[in-house]
Structure 1
C-alpha cells in the first residue's frame, strides 16, 4: 500500500468504516424481473453482512474485498483531484493505450528496485529479468525504446550533491537540507507540515529527469512531436503516479514527461490478465536468456540513438537501496574539498553512526578526525515524524539552564557520552528521507512475499538482487564533468532550461474547512 494512503494524520484521511465502503453487487434474476431486486444490507449479531430482500428473504454476504484499485479510487484517503490522476496510471489504461493509440510511440524506463523485485519473484538474475523485460516491451508490446533509470538517477545525484554543497557554502544556517525524491514524503509534508517545505531540496527524481530526456530524444529520433511519445515508467512505489502528474512550475505543456507509472506488482497483474497477449517468460524464454548478444550490446540496441553512457545505462550506484543520495553527496563533497583546499585523500574517513532503530543512521565525513560533512538516512513515517517535530517553530530550545538536568547528566558520566554517538539527522548537512521502512527497495508497489517465505527473508533476497546490479562509481571526476557537459548540451539543443530539466516545486495543501469535505473527502 502506498505510504501516503495510510498515514493516519493526513488532513483528508478517514478511518475504515466511516466512508471506505464497496457496495455489494446484486445478481440480476434470470427472468429479468425487478420484483424482488430491491435489497437492504444489514449486520447480524455476529457482525456478518446480510442481504435482506423486499420479501424478507435473507442471504449471507461474503466479506468485502477492498483492492488497491478500490482504495485509490476513493476520495477519502486522497483528494478527488489525485483520484482522477491516479486512475490514469493503471495497467488497464496502458493496455487501452496500446490498443487505441496507434499514432503514439511507446517508450519505457525501468527502476533498479523494480528490476530486483521482479528478479526475486521469478527466481532469476537481474540481468535475465532485463532481457525478458526488453523482449516484453520491444518484441511483444511494440515499444520503440527501453532504458534503465541509471542516467536520470546519476544526473539527479550530481545535481543534488552540488545543490547541497552550494547551499552549505553560501548559507550560515545549521539546519539540514531534506531530500524530495520520495513523493510520499513530499505529499505528507505539503498536506500536514507546510512549514517544512522551505527545507526541501528542489532537485527532481530520476523518474522525472528520465522522462524529460526520453521525450526529447525520442521525438527527435522519430521526427515527431513530444506529445506523441508515450512514456511508461516501472517503479517500486504507487506514489510515483502522483509525482508524474505534478505540473511543471510556470510552464504550460500539452504533455507530461511520464504518461503512465506501473509498479512491479501491477506489471505482474497486467501479465496475469493479458497472458494471451503478453508473457514475461514466453515459450522461447531459454533462447532469449541464452542469446549470444552481450547484455551491454542489448542495452545499446534498445536505447534512444543519442542516449549517453549506454553501456552503463542500467548500472546501479553506491549507497542506500533508495539511490544512495546521502552516500554520494559525501563522496562528491570529499572530491570537492580535495580539489578546492588541496587536502590529502588518505586523511579522509567515513564513519557510520546508527540511530535508535535500523531505519535511522548518519554518515560523517571526517578529515584528520574532524567532521567536515555529514548526511543521514531516515526511512518510515515514525522516524519522519520525529524529525519533523524538531523543525516545528514552537519546538526551538528556550535557552534556560536547568541545574537538575545538568547534575543528572553529570551523574550519568559515560552514558552521556554514548548518547552523543547516536545518529542525529537534525545536525547533518543533508537528510535522505523515504516514506517506506527500509527505503525504496521495500516500496508499496514491490511484489509481495509468498506465504512460505517471511517478509524479512523476502526483503533480504530483494536487497541481495539489488546489490548484485553492477555499480558504476559516480564520483569519478571525469564522469561528473561528462554528465554536466552532456546535460548542458542537451538543454541548449532542445531549449530545455536547467530548471525545467532538474527542478521541481512544492505547495501547501490547504486544510478543508467544509464539514462535508472533512468527513467525505469531497464536496457535494
Structure 2
C-alpha cells in the first residue's frame, strides 16, 4: 500500500456523481392574489441570492436554494451516494445543536444507542461499556437537555423474533433458496440499484433502529409524534439512509430524525465548549438498572432487555438466533421426535475467508436448519452471482476450481477442528443469510472510531469485539419470546399502531437512468 494512502482513508462508499439531480415533480401554483409571472429568467443579485425576474413587468421574487436530501438519494439511480461526503443537513451534529437551541422548548428530545457504538466509545476511552453508558446519559440528559435515553436491545429483540417468524414461515411453505437479511441499509441499497432480481428474497422485517424509533415515538404519552426528536447513535453512515426511507403509507412520518455515528459524536463534543464526556458524573454512583430506569420513558417495557446483548455475531447475531428459535420451535411442535434438547448442537463451518461462514443446527449429528453469515461486498457479490445463476453454480467444476478446492481442504485440515472445516460453505443452500456490507460486520462500521497510531487494525478491532462481548447477554428463550409477543399485541391495541407499521419495511427497484450522459457522468459500483 502506498505510504500516502492509508487504510483509514478508505471506505466502501462512492462519491456522488456529477449527474446527481433532483427532478421537479410539480410546479407550485401561485398563492391567492399573487401575479402570474409568465416567462421569467433567473439572475443572481449583488449578495449572491437567486432571483426570478418576470420578462413581462420586471417584478422580482426571491428563490430558495435547492437541496438534495437522503430520501432523494434513495430514489435516484445516477450514482451510489456516499453518506460521508454528501452534505446532509438533517443528519449532522451541527443540525442537532441548532435544533436543540431553537426548539428545546417545543420538542421532546430522545436518544437511542446501539451496542456497537457503545463498544467503540468504550474502546476509544479505554473504559467499560457501563461507564460509557453513564457518560452518554450525562451528555444527553444533563448537558444537552434530552428527556429520554434508551438502548436498542428491545427493538433488536423484537426484530429478531419477527425475523425468525418470517423465515420459518417461508421454510414451512417450502420456498426455495435462502431468505436474505435486510438490516444493513448499505446492502439493501446495493440490491435495489444493481440486483433487483434478489429483492423478493429480502426479509421485510425492520431493523432495530426503526423498531426503536417507532416505539419511542409511540410510547411517549401526551406528546405528538412530530414533537418528539429522536437521535439514533449507530456504527454506520448508511443508517442515515435507512432513517430517510419513507413509511409505505406515511411518507412524511419519520421515526428517526437524526443519525450520528460514534465518530461524529466525538466531533460534536470536541467542537462545542458546552459539552464534554464527564467520567466523574454523579450518575456513576447509580446501579445500571437504576440508571436505565431513570432515563427511559415511564412506560418503556422490559428494561432488562433495553441494554442487554444477544449471542452470535457482533452485528446482532441474526443467523445464530434464528437457529436458537428454530430449536425451540422443534421442541415445541415435535416433542416426540426432538425430545432430548441436549442432542442439539450448533456447528460452525468456516468459509474461504473470515467474513463468510455457515452455522448448522444439528440434532444427533443430523442437520435440521442452517444459516450463513456473509460480510463485505466481495462476498456479497459472490453470493448474488450464485443466486442469479444457480444452474451455473451447480455445474461441474473446472480443473482450476478442483485444484483450488483441494488446496482449501488441505489448508483447512491443518486447523484444530479439521473435521468440521473440511466442508464447503454455500450460503445459497441455507435457510437464512445474515448480510452486512462492512467487512467483519457492524462492529467495524464506517462511523466507528479509528484506532491510534500505535495499534494495528486487527488489534483495535479485536479489542472492540471484546468490549462488545462484555455486554451482558440475555437468552432469547421461549418465555422471553412469549412475553415480547404478548406485549406487542397489547401495544398494537393501545397505541393504534398496526403490526405492519411497527414491523414491516419494503423494497423497490430503482430504475436505471435512460440519459446516456447521466450514465457516463454518474458513479458505478
- Please indicate, yes or no, whether the TM-score normalized by the shorter chain is above 0.5: yes
Partner of 2:347, secondary structure, is: strand
Partner of 2:280, secondary structure, is: helix
Q: Residue 6 in 1 paired to residue 12 in 2?
A: yes
CA contact (8 A) 2:16 2:82 kept: no
- Correspondence for 1:265: 263
Q: How many angstroms apart in 2 are the aligned matches of 1:422 and 1:233?
A: 39
Q: Residue 450 in 1 paired to residue 452 in 2?
A: yes
Give 1:86 shift: 3.5
Q: How many angstroms apart in 2 are the aligned matches of 1:151 and 1:350?
A: 25
Give 1:391 shift: 1.2
Q: How many angstroms apart in 2 are the aligned matches of 1:496 and 1:85?
A: 33
Q: Residue 199 in 1 paired to residue 201 in 2?
A: yes
Q: Identify the match of residue 87 of structure 1 among 71, 86, 89.
A: 89
- Correspondence for 2:513: 512
- Correspondence for 1:35: none
Q: How many angstroms apart in 1 are the aligned matches of 2:8 and 2:192?
A: 16
Q: How many angstroms apart in 2 are the aligned matches of 1:436 and 1:407?
A: 30
Q: How many angstroms apart in 1 are the aligned matches of 2:355 and 2:394?
A: 31
CA contact (8 A) 1:75 1:520 kept: no
Q: How many angstroms apart in 1 are the aligned matches of 2:451 and 2:127?
A: 15
Matches of residues 283-302 of structure 1 in structure 2 within 5 Å?
Answer: 285-288=279-282, 290-291=284-285, 293-302=286-295
Q: Residue 378 in 1 paired to residue 378 in 2?
A: no
Partner of 2:110, secondary structure, is: strand
- Correspondence for 2:170: 167
Distance 1:451 1:401, change over 3 A: closer
- The CA deviation string for residues 202-240 of structure 1, in whole angstroms up to 9 with x for no partner, is 11000000000000111x1xx121110000000000000
Distance 1:370 1:135, change over 3 A: same
Distance 1:427 1:4, change over 3 A: farther
CA contact (8 A) 1:2 1:238 kept: no
Q: Residue 396 in 1 paired to residue 391 in 2?
A: yes
- The CA deviation string for residues 348-396 of structure 1, in whole angstroms up to 9 with x for no partner, is 111110000011110100112111000010110010011000111x452
Count of residue pairs the alignment pairs up = 452
Distance 1:511 1:436, change over 3 A: same
Q: Identify the match of residue 185 of structure 2 among 183, 186, 211.
A: 183
Give 1:519 shift: 3.8
Q: Residue 484 in 1 paired to residue 506 in 2?
A: no
TM-score (norm 1): 0.80
Q: Residue 236 in 1 paired to residue 250 in 2?
A: no
CA contact (8 A) 2:374 2:380 kept: yes
CA contact (8 A) 1:151 1:210 kept: yes
Distance 1:75 1:129, change over 3 A: farther
- Correspondence for 1:24: none
Give 1:520 shift: 3.9
Tell which deviates more after alignment, 192-201 or 414-423. Answer: 414-423
CA contact (8 A) 1:85 1:242 kept: no
Tell which deviates more after alignment, 81-90 or 372-381. Answer: 81-90
TM-score (norm 2): 0.79
Q: Residue 423 in 1 paired to residue 425 in 2?
A: yes
- The CA deviation string for residues 175-198 of structure 1, in whole angstroms up to 9 with x for no partner, is 110000000000000111110101
Q: Residue 225 in 1 paired to residue 224 in 2?
A: yes
Q: Identify the match of residue 122 of structure 1 among 117, 121, 125.
A: 125
Q: How many angstroms apart in 1 are the aligned matches of 2:493 and 2:166?
A: 21
RMSD: 3.4
Matches of residues 23-422 of structure 1 in structure 2 within 5 Å?
Answer: 77-78=79-80, 86-101=88-103, 102-173=105-176, 175-218=177-220, 220=221, 223-249=222-248, 251-252=249-250, 254-274=252-272, 276-281=273-278, 285-288=279-282, 290-291=284-285, 293-342=286-335, 343=338, 344-392=340-388, 394-397=389-392, 421-422=423-424
- Correspondence for 2:469: 467
- Correspondence for 1:501: 502
Q: How many angstroms apart in 2 are the aligned matches of 1:497 and 1:93?
A: 32
Can you give the 5+ residue segments of structure 1 that lack an aligned partner in the other structure?
21-68
Q: How many angstroms apart in 2 are the aligned matches of 1:425 and 1:182?
A: 17
Give 1:451 shift: 1.3
Q: How many angstroms apart in 2 are the aligned matches of 1:427 and 1:3?
A: 36
Give 1:347 shift: 1.5
Partner of 2:353, secondary structure, is: coil
Can you give the 5+ residue segments of structure 2 that lack an aligned partner in the other structure?
1-6, 21-69, 414-418
CA contact (8 A) 1:5 1:77 kept: no
